[in-house]
Amino acid sequence: MVRMAINARERKGTISRYLYGQFAEHLGRCIYEGIWVGPDSPIPNTEGYRTDVLEALKNLNIPVLRWPGGCFADEYHWMDGIGPKSQRARMINNHWGGVEENNHFGTHEFLRLCELLETEPYISGNVGSGTVREMQQWVEYMTFDGESPMAGLRKENGKEQPWKLPFFGVGNENWGCGGNMRPEYYADLYRRYSSYVRNYGDNQVYKIACGPNTDDYHWTEVLMREAHWLMNGLSLHYYTIPSGNWFASKGSATEFGVDEWFSTMKNTLFMEELIVKHSKIMDKYDPEGKVGLIVDEWGGWYDVEPGTNPGFLYQQNTLRDALIAGVNLNIFHRYSKRVKMANIAQVVNVLQAMVLTEGDKMLLTPTYHVFDMYKVHQDAELLDVEFESPMYKHGSQLIPQLSVSASIDKEGRIHLSVCNLHHAVSASVSCHLEGAEGKEISGTLLTHSSLNAHNTFHQPEVVKPAKFTGAKLEDGQVHMELPPASVVVLTLK
């Protein structure tokens, strides 16, 4: 029996809704076919956006959407994507499959998408191959309300009033596909470029610097030392790879056994170590916590589905991905004092997607369901949870069996999210409530008897949430039996 205690009197700060951000890159079928089909498409659409995808994503209460990349961002020249579509410059997407990009989805289309989804835009600017002037003019085009060449051009293109632009990334992965830079060089470029990302009128831009690749702590040290006072956020990218090998087979998305399940869970938990160590460096230069750690690329990354373009990064999404999502979100909650935003990669048809499409068909993935279950935590107050997890042993390796977080919302409801990482062993939990009296309990469960269970276009509801009947309230205690390989969210009123 696992003993657990939730202290409702001790609030640990707000779990920012921005931890539930999404990411849409010009990559494979994410934008074209996944989100944008054009107004003349036979696929039901709203102003050219797939209606089914819009409705599914709107249900998640997405707080922020990152665009246009990713690696694509540092080859993207925004003026190619404005004006009449027939006159927009065409280009080759060098990073992702070598396919032609017609630029029909540009600044206006992205910002309109954000309006339809009622989400906030996060735009990544081009430092790798772009100029300071280009970046400055893009921000002016979007946000300046006055007389200027860029504001005039925006109005000519049909947008009289400026948009609000809350988040702007000054480059992306500049240690790699964004220019293969040294941190010292990028720090100087960041200082220069960010100076021209201006606040026009009452629009205040939260400026995000390119942060480290996984465990490159030297990069974080240099960026914080040289430019922390000029940034609002520092990004971090980390992907869960079952094999742990970027340059060979990462592992199949659907064909895996217990060994790969365990390595995936272990590698997912590495996110906590990364956050702790990078945060320690940030604390040295920013003890007041003014600079947010922005995990704007995370999720599972596998070998692409057989027969698909390897540059499109299309992969299936199984029960294993549901656990990746739940564990990461629990980690982000616990470190929300420093982690201010996270953006899973990516929203449609790429990597660990929320939805998959094929022609006029669409399905919801297990990851989608976890985001739907967990959205109750958005902007709730983090609660302290005391427990000692049993260990999940596989061979000679050990990891914690349970991942947990809890919050209390504005209506006083306590939400407890628990992931059982073990592939075969259930967990009995007795949870004591301090400072709160639970009168009613309900819950949602996501699990399946098969570890590689996933939804297909022929069987789109193989993995879906169900009412959780394994919890009960007795004398101020919550008793629950968690199935193996499961994600549970409980609500206590």
251: left (phi over 0), alpha (psi -120 to 50) or beta: left
- Burial label for 390, CB within 10 Å (0-12, 13-18, 19+), is middle
Is the preceding peptide bond at 22 cis, omega within 30 degrees of 0? no
Distance between CA atoms of 17 and 324, rounded to whole angstroms? 19
Active site residue 297: yes
Marked catalytic residue, from 33, 120, 140, 297: 297
Asked if 285 and 225 touch (Cβ cutoff 8 Å), the reply is: yes
Q: Name residues whose C-beta falls within 8 Å of residue 318's C-beta, 6 or more positions apart in sequence.
A: 253, 254, 366, 451, 452, 453, 454, 463
Is the preceding peptide bond at 70 cis, omega within 30 degrees of 0? yes
Marked catalytic residue, from 120, 173, 260, 381: 173
Q: Name residues whose C-beta falls within 8 Å of residue 12's C-beta, 6 or more positions apart in sequence.
A: 336, 337, 381, 382, 383, 384
Closest CA to 416 of 365, 489, 318: 489
Distance between CA atoms of 449 and 453, rounded to whole angstroms? 8
Asked if 234 and 293 touch (Cβ cutoff 8 Å), the reply is: yes
Q: How many other C-beta atoms are found inside a 10 Å radius of the C-beta of residue 338?
A: 18
Which residues are part of the catalytic machinery? 173, 297
